[in-house]
Amino acid sequence: MRGYVVTGADEAALMSDQGIPAPDSGEVSLRIEATGLNFADLLMVKGTYQATPPTPFIPGLEVCGTVTAIGPNTNGPAVGTRVAVFGGQGGLAEYGVFPVDRLVPVPEDMPSDIAAGFIVAWSTSHLALTHRARLQPGERLVVLGAAGGVGLTAVELGAKMGADVIAVARGAEKLAVARDHGACHLIDAEATDLREQIKALGGADVVYDAVGGTAAKAAFRATNPGGRYVVIGFASGDVPVFPANHLLVKNVDLIGFYWGGYMEFDPKPVTDSIAALFAMYESGEIRPHISHVLPLEQVEDGLALLRDRKSTGKVVITP
């Protein structure tokens, strides 16, 4: 089979001579139909992600595929069942093996490209806003990176929860996408007066930050007393430092949120979140957005779209 193999830090290539893996106990084999790209895949290729596997490995955190085999002494869905799974790796290939306890049946009317990019982004924002930030109707939610893979889901879910959503993204095209998904106010991320613009709108009760960098510092300084600042990631490559004295004086909660960590120490909120989100999709309450669907031969182009911030919503690879 073909697979995009990482052989060292910043060393990866599409190879056609990979053996088709066989499932072990507790695993199933999938014929992969689509793989959602995430910023973590870029970090894995560089070798800087907190959960980077030892080389060689195939990146690709989340997939949708059809069960082709079930491991020994394993109770799993029947061969031929279409499922989605967050496997942590192995998605950028034509076949892969994944833990049976992470499989999620896919609604019949959900296309594979949407299912492949659904779990991580939507559940990240759902849990971050409900379980961690405790977002309330009428509160002001600032989303940094509002047109990205996770940011756009935060915009839409925040609006559904009754928040007044301020979208911060780069350029008119991305801001228009954020507005289409529920943002009430739009601010260009390149604005030099980001803090002042947020303050002029009433300040932030909750900040959803997948970007870091200078935007993070501005949004933090525009957070209202009693507000919550949720750290999702650092797409800018710059990890911000927050002054503890400001946290103290303004009674601000600084909240770290790593969705993958919950899969290890407390998976129930994740499974409950995914079930709720699939129900919301089936009822038409949420509208997943994909800007690019590319073949496996163009996986490096897909990763470049994330790296250069030229995508909106999700980028999906179809083997």
pTM for this one? 0.92
The sign of the CA dihedral 24, 28, 34, 35 is: negative
Task: Say which amino acid occupies 174.
Answer: K
Read off the pLDDT of residues 230-287 as tens digits, 9 standing for 90 and up: 999 999 999 999 999 999 999 999 999 999 899 889 989 998 999 999 999 999 999 9
227 closest CA partner among 248, 244, 246, 251: 251
Look up residue 186 and give its two tokens: 């739009």
Read off the pLDDT of residues 1-38 as tens digits, 9 standing for 90 and up: 999 999 999 999 999 999 999 999 999 999 999 999 99
Q: Is 239 exposed, middle or buried (0-12, 13-18, 19+ CB in 10 A)?
A: exposed
176, 183 in Cβ contact below 8 A? no
**Length of the chain in terms of residues written:** 319
Percent of the chain clearing pLDDT 70 (strictly above): 100
How far apart are the C-alpha atoms of 171 and 240, rounded to whole Å? 23
Q: Which domains does the chain have, with CATH numbers?
A: 3-118+288-318 (3.90.180.10), 121-258 (3.40.50.720)
